[in-house]
Amino acid sequence: MSINLEQARFNMVEQQVRTWEVLDPFVLDALREVPREDFVPAEYRRLAFSDLRIPLDHGQVMMKPIEEGRMLQALEIAPGQRVLEIGTGSGFAAACMARLGASVVSIEIIPELAERAERRLERLGIEGVEVRSADALADFDPEDSFDAIAVTGSAAEVPERFRHWVKPGGRVFAVRGFSPVMEAVCLTRSSGDRWQVDSLFDTDLPRLIGAEDKPQFEF
């Protein structure tokens, strides 16, 4: 691995992620140690550590490193926890969550992306991630609840069904609102159906497939 690549990785963590109020040392270590350059499409490898959303196939994107850092920090993932990721994409975020000690179920509606991510994680020797091809807004129905849920696409509102999959004390990271200014939030289930909502940052992510905006007028 070249010095330039390592310098770019260092700059990503220290000059981008840390300065965006990501101070959790375990999250910073995960971002240092999971090889982000091996998760981006080959044609974007030189941009792997840039403050950009990396395009994936089928209109999907990798979140910016600073967004991934804030998401991981907000979820407060601890070793041994069960985490659900909705939207596998490249598999990078799931790998970071596994590096934090979680047992991750990552679902991806696009079979091709799910297969690529699964092969990539296996090739890199990353354990603790189960990738499934499923639709979180339709046919996916987990048998058990989760300590944390990471939603890597946006919706006008956080889908209600996701809240039912969270344990008491658990957290949901999601992006809600409308382009060009959406809101990343962390929802914490305190007791029963009581939820605390923390606003994290403004962003703009593609919609979850199945959560696209409907036209206001139909003719």
- Whichever domain contains 114, its CATH number is 3.40.50.150
Q: Is residue 15 part of a domain?
A: yes
CA distance 25 to 142: 31
Total count of domains within the chain: 1
pLDDT given at position 1 = 46
Beta-bridged to residue 202, according to DSSP, are 183
- The range of the structural domain enclosing residue 131 comes to 3-203
| pLDDT by 10s per residue, the chain, length 219 | 455 889 999 999 999 999 999 999 999 999 999 999 999 999 999 999 999 999 999 999 999 999 999 999 999 999 999 999 999 999 999 999 999 999 999 999 999 999 999 999 999 999 999 999 999 999 999 989 999 999 999 999 999 999 999 999 999 999 999 999 999 999 999 977 899 999 999 999 999 999 998 775 554
Q: Is residue 209 part of a domain?
A: no
pLDDT given at position 214 = 79
pLDDT given at position 216 = 59
pLDDT given at position 125 = 98
Q: Is residue 218 part of a domain?
A: no
Q: Is residue 63 part of a domain?
A: yes
Q: Is residue 137 part of a domain?
A: yes
Q: Could you tell me where the beta strands, DSSP code E, fall in the chain?
A: 54-55, 61-62, 82-86, 103-108, 129-133, 146-155, 166-178, 181-191, 194-203
Q: Is residue 214 part of a domain?
A: no
The full length of the chain comes to: 219
Q: Is residue 219 part of a domain?
A: no
CA distance 134 to 109: 5
Q: Is residue 210 part of a domain?
A: no
